[in-house]
Structure 1
Amino acid sequence: MSFLEWVQRRLIAHGFNPGIVDGIWGRNTLAATMAFQTSRNLPATGTLNEATVAALRATPGQQTAPPPTPSAEPPRQDLLDHFPWMALALRKKGLHEGRDNAELRAFLRSDGKTLGDPASLPWCGDFVETCVAVTMPEVIVPNNPYLARNWLHFGQTVNPCFGAILVFWRGSRSGTSGHVGFYYSEDDDVYHVLGGNQSNKISVTSLKKDRLLGARLPSVGGPYPRKMVTSQADWQLTTNEY
């Protein structure tokens, strides 16, 4: 069962009609989602955000309090000016591989190539590659940029800092699986990573620091300020990105 099929079934369980349970984000599902959000005193945006999903998980008739919102300040514009790939990534934040499939697929192929359907394939590397290639066309990306660990061969190695490409192991440190995204901020135990294929969307999520394999920045262009950004914002902690 896909995520959208689960959403449609939960809407029905709560008394809202999304139409046929087909896993497709259509106008009936959107209308049912917005009506459900209104009934739970949530902003009727039609977005399947964390608060909406938590409310859908609740037993029908049971109210749930929305989870706390991360209290992080957005990056300063003068910092973003040095990292055009971060500015682009932030503009695409929130796109979901199911709900926004057509828009997300169009973005991922905007650099002239793509791995394929993000609803079917692990697309964290595709997202990083697109953001870098579109904003820094002179930069050479790794061979097979869709494999997360290949980004360990990109540009120059740096200490983790704002805008850097962070590569993590997934499954086991000695394996081949991994995850890649952009450094957004950090706290004592985790890096807050702006990336794709994080809970099926482009988002900021938290990954344990002991999973980091390396941090990279382009070896051309710049200058790139080496700024460490601390934040105690409570983003979702993940251990197996999807």
Structure 2
Amino acid sequence: MTTLELQKALKAKGFDPGGIDGAMGRNTIAAIRGFQAANGLAVDGIAGPDTIAKLAAGNLPPAANLSSNLSMPWFTEAQRAIGITEDTGPGSNPLIIGWAKRLRIDYGDDEVSWCGLFVAHCIGLTMPAETLPTNALGARSWGSFGVDCTPQPGAVMTFWRESLQGWKGHVGFYVGEDKNNFHILGGNQGNAVNVSRYPRARFLKSRWPKGAPAPTGTGQQMLADGRLAPIND
């Protein structure tokens, strides 16, 4: 089930997600929470397996055919943002500045590193009850976010930059890995949102939102043809 299909399903059940636009925003989250409350489910605003199963009752497709991506709405939002770039001129991209304004983060120039802001946007938009780091702009601050987890799709990954003992770093979301690198979906990667490689030697922490379903995934090996395959223990 895509986010668009989720919105249509909620609408059909009488829970208005606002615009049927495929964006996991506050109105859609509120509709999910309303549906969960009305159906005796845990009210967390995340369309996990139990919520999908309830929504699947009636004329919707069987739950077994639905995508689990809705359990990681922050990761879906990150993928939607691929291609967004900062303004390389004297101004700033108003979309990036808007992320900060919505989260009430003091940030006014996209020449300042925004990898932490991107992660804060993805999680803050789709999981408004989740506690963000006090210094969300600081990449290494995300090392204490949520709960610890093994690297897996959607995990918040932090890395050191320039010096292990210093304060500079990078943060983004795990996509996959190869022998030498983690493949990270993040912001401010070459001034844009994209998937880039970051050396394993610079890896610091892998974290998971507390309010999300427990992290039970596994690492994903990036194959030579670009496909991903689960890493077996």
Which amino acid is 2:184 matched to? V
Across the two proteins, how many residue pairs are aligned to each other?
A: 159
TM-superposed deviation, 1:231: 1.1
| Cα distance in 1 for residues equivalent to 2:129 and 2:69 | 19
4+ residue stretches of structure 1 with deviation over 6 A?
Answer: none
Q: For structure 1, which segment, 208-217 or 105-114, has the greater mean C-alpha deviation from structure 2 after superposition?
A: 105-114
Verify: 1:86 aligned to 2:78, yes or no. Answer: no
1:179 aligns with 2:170: yes
Give the distance between the partners of 2:159 and 2:102, measured in 1 at CA: 26
Q: Which amino acid aligns with 2:109?
A: D
State the partner residue of 1:115: 107
Distance in 2, Cα, partners of 1:170 & 1:159: 21
Give aligned-pair identity as a percent.
35
Unaligned runs of 5+ in 2: 1-64, 227-233
| Aligned ranges 1:34-183 → 2 under 5 Å | 78-98=67-87, 101-118=93-110, 120-183=111-174
2:217 aligns with one of 210, 226, 229: 226
Per-residue displacement from partner, 1:53-93 (whole Å, max 9, x unpaired)? xxxxxxxxxxxxxxxxxxxxxxx972421211111011111
What letter corresponds to residue 186 of structure 2 in structure 1? G
Distance (Å, rounded) in 2 between the aligned partners of 1:131 and 1:167:
16
Which shows bigger deviation, 92-101 or 139-148? 92-101
Over the residues paired in the alignment, what is the CA RMSD in angstroms? Answer: 2.2
**By how many angstroms is 1:114 displaced?**
5.0
Residue 95 to residue 178, structure 1, CA distance change in 2 (3 Å):
same
Where does residue 188 of structure 2 map in the other structure?
A: 197
Tell me the residue number matched to 2:38: none
CA deviation vs aligned residue, 1:128-154 (integer Å, no higher than 9, x gap): 111111111111111111111111111
Amino acid at match of 2:108: G
- Secondary structure of the corresponding residue to residue 193 of structure 2: strand
Structure 1 residues 110 and 232 mapped into 2: Cα distance closer, same or farther (>3 Å)?
farther
Q: Given that residues 115 and 123 in structure 1 are in contact (C-alpha distance below 8 angstroms), is that contact kept between their aligned partners in structure 2? A: no
Distance in 2 separating the partners of 1:109 and 1:77: 34
Asked whether the equivalents of residues 83 and 224 of structure 1 are also in contact (C-alpha less than 8 Å), the reply is: no
The letter of the residue matching 2:81 is: K
TM-score, normalised relative to structure 1 = 0.61
Structure 2 equivalent of residue 72 of structure 1: none
Residue-by-residue CA offset, 1:177-199 (whole Å, 9 max, x unaligned): 00000001111111000000000
